[in-house]
Amino acid sequence: MNKRVVITGLGVVSPNGTGVTNFLNALKEGRSGIKWDKDLADLKFQCQVSARPEIDDQKLKELLPAGLFIKLENEAMKYSCLSGAEAWLDAGLSFTPKDEHPDWEDGVIFGVGALAMDEFIGGKFEILQTGNPRKIGSRVVEQTMNSGAVTYLNKIIGFGNLVTANSSACATGTEALIMGYDRIKSGKAKRMLCGSTESQGVFIWSGFEALRILCSDSNEYPEQASRPMSANSTGFVPGTGSGALVLEELESALERGAPIYGEMVAGEIVNGGQRNGGSITASNPVATQRAITTALDTAGISGSDIDLICGHLTSTIGDTREIESWVQALGVEKDQFPMINAIKSMIGHCLGGSGSIEMVAAALQLHHGFAHTNINIDNLHPEIVSLIGEKPIISTTTNAPIEYLIKASLGFGDVNSCIVLKKWTADE
Amino acid sequence: MSDQIIEKLKTIIEPYLDEIEIDDIAPSSHLIDDLGLDSFYVIDVVIDIENEFDIAIDNESISKFETVEQVISIIQEKLDEK
């Protein structure tokens, strides 16, 4: 079997806008979701900025049974419930009624980086340390297990096909999409809700602070802290949030007249094996390029067909290396290099949540025919400029038909993932 | 004391209810079958009771947590032991 796969639903909890309509506007405006963070300042982090979404607890209360809602302390799980439910409803689908069989044909893959560092260590661990293990409450297991986010989401929706959580650090979100895509292509599911989420706070972010890879010089100007592709980038801005996309077999989507945001024509994952310049924290460039070229091959296109690159681009020294990989893998002349944007300039790096939030942004740009602006690009890295020039790095939101869009996410562990989306036209 | 226990118990249970109104709770109401509590909500109720009444509820007592009146009598018993 080799089914065609389309995107029929979107949901998002992003630092610069929760809900798809709000997020779409944020992308067009170039709205930043990065703010000064008192929690980080109080603990003397050098990085005192972060990107945290705003959510509506009332909406969550309507989605979840009362007994789950009142004890839900995990932000990543709140995000997954909100973005996942939004995407499913956006696709014109409904939740399985409580007393019916689960929806056998459909499933969900919802990944996470680290589900509950702050929620567990910050609160429950202290209670435990006082010698009262039974006082930590009944929800620690379900709100710390990696499949906790997908489990709560499925309480709402009621899937009966594959329900699982993947994990590949910052490539988690795109990996979820790729796994769901493969499952539909092979005929094992009709629809897969795919996404990811990440938690937030001083514990989860402290590890990155210790690695000295967080932005350290922009506490007074939070909105200027994340500067992908810049000569003066000092590190990424820690963020959090969740994105969700409904992938569906083309036939099924057409049959029920579903909204189609675009076709997913390739999804490839390559591991660099932590060899040849690859490490736990840095990607092997050959593997990054292989992910891109394999995706182009699968899509049956060449680099010159690409209209927009949505980069991984984190505002670290890795950006130059990533651009080199795009140049090598796409194999187009410098003056033909496609438009490229880095959403992390607005929302920082949402870690495990990043790939899925950024794929929602990709689908929106494809569907609505625009490329969102890059912000904070006044001081581009000279090596990047010499590789691709300034023109592809758009400094204003640009309306243009996007036929093919390519997106990469790179993750610790030398994970290199790449997805190609194609514009959907009804007369095909 | 028993009335006070009932009122406090209602306050503890109320947040976990979806379809049942708090005033519909009767002494004979079964926590899971009638009130619709998940089995792990019952553990939450136990923890809340321990905190509210400053008592410890042992495993054997939890196995008898079936109806509202059983819960009340366990609370009463633990309070008397104090």
HEC per residue, A32-95: CCEEECHHHHHCCCCCCEEECCCCCHHHHHHHCCHHHHCCCCCHHHHHHHHHHHHHHHHCCCCC
The mean of the pLDDT values for chain A is 96
Q: What is the pLDDT of residues A41-73, one digit of tens each?
A: 999 999 999 999 999 999 999 999 999 999 999
Measured CA to CA in angstroms, residue A2 lies from A186, A187, A239, A252 at distances of: 6, 8, 37, 14
Which residue among B37, B47, B50 sits closest to A67, beta carbon to beta carbon? B37
* DSSP code string of A201-265: SHHHHHHHHHTT-B--S-TT-GGGS--TTBTT---BPBB-EEEEEEEEEHHHHHHTT----EEEE
List A residues 17-76 in contact with B (Cβ-Cβ < 8 A): 65-67, 70-71
Estimate the crossing angle of helix A285-299 against helix A318-330, to 10 degrees.
40
Q: Where does the pLDDT of residue A339 fall: very low under 50, low under 70, confident under 90, or very high at 90 and above?
A: very high
Q: What is the mean pLDDT of residues A87-106?
A: 97
B41 touching A, CB under 8 A?
Answer: yes
pLDDT of A288: 98
pLDDT of A122: 78
| Distant-in-sequence, close-in-space partners of A35: CB < 8 Å, separation ≥ 6 | A49, A50, A51, A52, A222
pLDDT of A427: 65
Measured between CA atoms, the residue of chain A closest to residue B49 is: A135
Name which of A71-75, A159-163, A280-284, B34-38 the model is least confident about. Answer: B34-38
Measured between CA atoms, the residue of chain B closest to residue A62 is: B18
Residue A101 exposed, middle or buried by CB count within 10 Å (0-12, 13-18, 19+): exposed
B47 touching A, CB under 8 A?
Answer: yes
pLDDT of A428: 59
Interface with A, mutate which of B40, B57, B65 (most A CBs under 10 A): B40
How close A58 gets to chain B, by Cα (Å)?
A: 15
Q: Terminal CA-to-CA distance of chain A, rounded, Å?
A: 20
pLDDT of B1: 60
Measured between CA atoms, the residue of chain A closest to residue B40 is: A138
Phi, psi of A110 (to 5 degrees): -135, 105
Does the pLDDT at position A1 exceed 80?
A: no
B21 touching A, CB under 8 A?
Answer: no
| Distant-in-sequence, close-in-space partners of B75: CB < 8 Å, separation ≥ 6 | B5, B9, B49, B53, B55
Q: Which residues of B touch A65 (CB under 8 A)?
A: 18
Contact at CB, A138 and B18, closer than 8 angstroms: no
Does the pLDDT at position A325 exceed 90?
A: yes
Question: Cβ distance B68 to B12 under 8 Å?
Answer: no
pLDDT of A121: 85
For residues A164 and A119, what is the distance between their CA atoms, to the nearest angstrom? 21
**What's this model's pTM, rounded to 2 decimal places?**
0.96
Q: What is the pLDDT of residues A340-397, one digit of tens each?
A: 999 999 999 999 999 999 999 999 999 999 999 999 999 999 999 999 999 999 999 9
Q: Which residues of A touch B43 (CB under 8 A)?
A: 138
Question: Cβ distance A415 to A168 under 8 Å?
Answer: yes
B19 touching A, CB under 8 A?
Answer: no
Question: Cβ distance A361 to A407 under 8 Å?
Answer: no
Contact at CB, B15 and A138, closer than 8 angstroms: no
Q: Which residues of A touch B41 (CB under 8 A)?
A: 67, 138
Q: What is the mean pLDDT of residues A161-189?
A: 98
Q: What is the mean pLDDT of residues A395-419?
A: 98
Q: Which residues of A touch B52 (CB under 8 A)?
A: none
Which residue among B38, B47, B50 sits closest to A67, beta carbon to beta carbon? B38
Query: Which residue is listed with tokens 């980069």?
Result: A311
Of residues A169, A242, A208, the one with CA closest to residue A40: A208
Q: Where does the pLDDT of residue B3 fall: very low under 50, low under 70, confident under 90, or very high at 90 and above?
A: confident
Give me the numbers of helices (H) and strands (E) for chain A, helices first please. Answer: 16, 15
B60 touching A, CB under 8 A?
Answer: no
Name which of A132-136, A167-171, A404-408 the model is least confident about. Answer: A132-136
pLDDT of A334: 95
Contact at CB, A138 and B16, closer than 8 angstroms: no
Letter string b/e over residues B8-37, b meaning 16 or more CB atoms within 10 A of that residue's CB: bbeebbebbbeebeeeebeeebebeeebbb
Q: What is the pLDDT of residues B11-64, one digit of tens each?
A: 999 999 988 888 888 999 999 999 988 888 888 899 999 999 999 999 899 888
Q: Which residues of B touch A134 (CB under 8 A)?
A: 47
Beta A262-271 vs A5-14: how paired, if at all? Answer: antiparallel
For residues A404 and A265, what is the distance between their CA atoms, to the nearest angstrom? 9
Does the pLDDT at position A220 exceed 80?
A: yes
Whether complex ipTM tops 0.90: no
pLDDT of A411: 97
